[in-house]
Chains A and B, each alone.
Chain A
Amino acid sequence: MEFLTVHSPILIVAIPLLAAFIAPLISRIGNKFRDTVNVALLGFVTLLIAILAIDVYTNGTRIYTLGAAVPEMAIPENYMVPIRIMFQVDGISMFMGLTTTVVMLAALVYSLNFLKGQTGQDRFYSLLMLLYVGMIGLEFTGDMFNLFVFLEILSIAGAGLAAYRTNLADAVEGGFKYIVISAVSALLVLFAIGILYGQYNLLSIAALAQNMQFNTLDMIALAMLAIAFVMKLAGVPLHMWAPDTYAVAPAGITPMIYTSSAASMYALYRVTFTLYGGHFDTTAIGWIVIILGVLSMFIGVMMAIHQTDIKRLMAYHAISQSGYMLLGVGVGLAVLNDPAALANYGRDAMNGGIFHIINNALYKGMLFLTAEAIFFRIGTRDLNKMGGLGHNMKWTTIFFIIGALAISGIPPFNGFASKLLIYESVFRFNPLLSVIAMFVSLVTLASFTKVFYSAFTGPEMPAYKEVREVPRSMLIGMGIMVACIIFFSIFPGLVVDTIVAPATDALIDQAGYINGVMGAAP
């Protein structure tokens, strides 16, 4: 057990990486064998995530240095700074790791039946595992260059998966747009890393944070990093690629690409809080994040309610929900240097924003799966052509209702718990922001009422008389997410205290992150 605990950070990355490369080989034995191996390996990775989570929440940050005699030894003997590739898993990294793994598990199980009879399954699973590797690596890494490397891995895998259905012209276009915006974002990140490396000769996030001078070049690097990650997380006005890509990606992949946007949001938080936090006045960058959050919330939802393509509608809602996360954490960032405001409402606002990340990954991911279940059965995403599907797709309808109520912030669902945290704490910072957030929730409810009415209610359409419920593995995939939504809805206090508050504290505690690595410096 001790071995697994110590080596879990690298095993969590290495096992899916191995699975990605052996998928085409074991596909030659049989698809069923490949699927069994994939599910078994991911099950083992989930166990490792659980072991690592217990360790991190009990003993604090876990450091894993590759090539070191003792993995916890971040700085080699006779050196002043860390030079090796290193994972540094603290509360926020673990929180993101848990979120990513739950979505990945549901996406993999959902895809098993969805892909039956389609060509290129071995490549699909290879790319899916690589996407997971990219996300987990980005969330666990302790140095800037590997953050770039994992960002590239998730971008390339994501683009390949978005364009998986090459028989559809818009799928190829969606994949192309995704790879272009990802490549440009990654280049900006690399340029910013170059600026920092040129000045400080360092790549470790902790070492850079300790030596940061906050000069003009550092500000240019901060702007490049922040805007690159805002582009990747589809914040308004850099969101326009997202509906084009989310709408065409196959089932199981849309939730994963969406969760990869949450990973980019994590990178934005890591840069603004850990790399540039501390002695730097974060009010300006906090307000930039808040403005981007409010724009994303409002424009996202207003565009969503106007759509008649079910997946584009949901894609715009994904943008809108990202706004809540930016708003909550942005308020925390704006008051980071004001201890009284941070204690009064800043920490709660951050708790709300971070809690909303996992809530949204669950219900938004599930709603994308229900949309794809409809497409799987009737072959269209056009809401104008739908109607009466609730007669024959009862489970999908129930799952949709749960997801729609949760995303609209209707009590007692988990979306309400995180939104209430945001409303109440943001109100104390600026009441207008809170009012906008509540209005956006109202329009979200109106938008999902439109989808529910158009797709599921009404008389049974003659064209869809033969439509049946989706296969069991797809229902299990959605069921995993629904089970998590219900658990999070009934026990929000447990979730906030156990995984959300440690994530918030890890972001606020920049000194703790630096000391975790540099504390051992001679």
Chain B
Amino acid sequence: MSVVTYGYAVWSPIIWLVVLLVIAAIALYVRSRGQKRYKKGTAQTDVFISGIKVPPTEQRHVPAHNIYWGFFEALKGFYSAMMRPHTGILNDYMLWLVAVMAITVLVLIIVI
């Protein structure tokens, strides 16, 4: 019931779950062997940034537009080309429809 066979490959989530449980048990065991003198609510749990004054909560969280900044910077050309057709104007959407349909009709008539 849980196994999918493809003829050339097999997928069984049950085996995966068993492996996951074994790894979780090992991780919990390692954790239980760790430091026990940790105290919640003391200076031990305060944020420490190499002695720099800790900024307020809102400024400590990296906003979404900064995440993967390098990725977007490297692909600036690609994204500027991608943004161009996304005008938000319905007339442009219809032009795309006409163009794609014309190409499809031509392909079907020529190839078949």
Contacts and interface: CB of A to CB of B under 8 A. Distances in A.
Given A411-B13, A424-B8, A284 B93 contact: no
A299 interface: yes
A230 B78 CA distance: 24
A59 to B, nearest CB: 23
B1 interface: yes
A362 interface: no
Contact of A384 (B57, B63, B79, B92): B63
B68 A305 contact: yes
A308 B3 contact: no
A293 B78 CA distance: 20
Nearest to A307: B64
A158 B76 CA distance: 36
A238 B67 CA distance: 29
B16 interface: yes
A224 B104 CA distance: 9
B58 interface: yes
A100 to B, nearest CB: 24
Contact of B2 (A176, A299, A446, A493): A493
Interface residues of A, number: 66
A454 B86 CA distance: 25
Given A238-B100, A489-B13, A383 B57 contact: no
A490 B4 CA distance: 11
A216 B16 CA distance: 52
Contact of B105 (A177, A220, A299, A450): A220
Interface in A127-168: none
Contacts of B2: 490-494
A354 interface: no
B22 interface: no
A412 B4 CA distance: 12
B6 A348 contact: yes
B66 to A, nearest CB: 9
Interface in B70-108: 71-72, 78-79, 82, 85-88, 90, 92-94, 96-97, 100-101, 104-105, 107-108
A308 B68 CA distance: 12
A429 interface: no
A285 interface: yes
Interface in A19-63: none
Interface stretch (A200-208, A332-340, A457-465): A457-465
B27 interface: no
Contacts of A494: 1-2
B36 interface: no
A214 interface: yes
Contact of A224 (B6, B78, B101): B101
B28 to A, nearest CB: 19
A105 interface: no
B105 A219 contact: yes
A107 interface: no
Contacts, number: 144
Contacts of A223: 101, 104-105, 108
B111 interface: yes
Given A462-B58, A491-B2, A492-B4, A453 B67 contact: yes
A446 B67 CA distance: 10
Contact of B97 (A184, A214, A308, A461): A184
A212 interface: no
Interface in A427-472: 446, 450-451, 453-454, 458-463
A222 interface: yes
Nearest to B56: A462
Contacts of B72: 306
A425 interface: yes
B4 A493 contact: yes
Contacts of A281: 112
B6 A424 contact: yes
A491 B101 contact: no
Chain A CB count within 10 A is highest, among B14, B79, B97, for B97
A483 interface: no
Contacts of A462: 57-58
Contacts of A216: 109
Interface of A: 176-177, 180-181, 184, 188, 214, 216, 219-220, 222-224, 226-227, 230-231, 237-238, 240-241, 244, 280-281, 284-285, 288, 299, 302-303, 305-306, 308, 344, 348, 383-384, 386-388, 411-412, 416-417, 420-421, 424-425, 446, 450-451, 453-454, 458-463, 489-494, 496
| CB-CB nearest 7 A-B residue pairs | A383-B64, A412-B13, A458-B61, A454-B64, A387-B61, A284-B111, A494-B1
Given A284-B107, A285-B108, A388-B57, 4 more contacts: A219-B112, A387-B61, A420-B11, A496-B4
24 contacts: A181-B97, A216-B109, A222-B108, A223-B101, A227-B97, A227-B101, A230-B100, A240-B86, A240-B88, A280-B112, A284-B108, A285-B108, A288-B107, A303-B86, A384-B63, A387-B58, A412-B16, A458-B62, A459-B60, A489-B13, A492-B2, A492-B13, A493-B3, A493-B5
